[in-house]
Amino acid sequence: MKNRIIVTGGAGFLGSHLCERLLGEGHEVICVDNFFTGQKRNIVHLMDNPYFEVLRHDICFPLYLEADEIYNLACPASPIHYQRHPTQTTKVNVNGSTNMLGLAKRIGAKILQASTSEVYGDPTVHPQKEDYWGNVNPIGPRSCYDEGKRCAETLFMDYRKQHQLGIKIVRIFNTYGPHMHPHDGRVVSNFIMQALRNKSISIYGNGSQTRSFCYCDDLIDGLVRMMRTPDDIIGPTNLGNPNEFTIKQLAEQVIELIGSKSRIDYLPLPQDDPKQRCPDITKARTELGWQPTVELKEGLIKTIAYFDGLLTENPNL
């Protein structure tokens, strides 16, 4: 069946892959984005498709459209972006999510929230399961994002309770791949850009902190599977790759794959930087029949090719 689907944040890294996947399946897609961190480059290849529409709109303001499903991805995701505009970040999560929930309620659409592993903060439980309540600083530099996303989850659950809305919540762990913004400061894009230019690799702290990196295609498949689950499956459900690496291991892997001459530079660790992060994906395995299939090395090779292409096009990037 052909659906009309709204993707907020559709011009961003993940949103653009999601739009492409849904259009590929024959759906009609409305990408709603204010281009705060999104880029035209990510969606330009979709513009010729007559079933693709782009709306430049800030979801903190009301939106009146008709659709069958809404994927709510609008929110800056990289620490340097959300920390540069902290109040805007909380607002998109609280006011923006409220508007999208109000829209879903009016038109009877299913709505999926892209939540985050950041709701677990600097976790004291490892790996993180969905029933862990987290260890979050409410007034630190990451709070606008962490607490904003936690409040959005509360709103989603309460709209279901109060208005019987069809909701889904996924908690996304670190994801990487083509279409990441080259300057958004996230670790995978930073390391690849630095290594391609033979510049020093910036490790914050001693590099012993861990993350688990999921390739974008795997993640998008998880989002779509979640949206299509029966009504009684609402999450929150972790989506991420359970293979955990230290940041130092990531740096070494990137240098090796590129054959770069870069050396490693150790810089101060940012405040409240989580020491370890790894998803327990038992719930996603059982409820969605989902697990990642792309190994870090394979995903890094594709991502390196993307950034290499960007640099060839524009060496001064």
Least Cβ distance, residue 52 to ligand UDP (angstroms): 21
The answer to the question of residue 40 lying near ligand UDP (CB under 6 A) is no
Q: Which of 97, 128, 174, 303 binds ligand NAD (CB under 6 A)?
A: 174
Stretch (H or E) spanning 86: helix 86-91
Residue 145 is a catalytic residue: yes
Q: Which of 41, 106, 228, 285 binds ligand UDP (CB under 6 A)?
A: 106
Q: Which of 19, 27, 28, 33 binds ligand NAD (CB under 6 A)?
A: 33
Using the minimum distance from each CB to ligand UDP, give the nearer residue, 198 or 286: 198
State the Cα–Cα distance between residues 225 and 222, nearest whole angstrom: 5
Site for ligand NAD in 77-106 (CB under 6 A): 77, 92, 96
In our burial notation (b when 16+ CB lie closer than 10 A, e otherwise), range 225-237 reads bbbebeeeebbbb
- Amino acid identity of residue 203, one-letter, is I
Using the minimum distance from each CB to ligand NAD, give the nearer residue, 211 or 248: 211
103 binds, among ligand UDP, ligand NAD, none (CB under 5 to 8 A by kind): ligand UDP
- Helix/strand number for the chain, H first, E second: 10, 13
- Amino acid identity of residue 130, one-letter, is E
The one-character DSSP state at 93 is I
Longest dimension (CA), the chain: 58
Structure tokens at 41: 């480059």
Of residues 145, 159, 176, 215, which has the active-site annotation? 145
Binding footprint of ligand NAD on the chain (CB under 6 A): 8-9, 11-15, 33-38, 58-60, 73-77, 92, 96, 114, 116, 172, 174-175
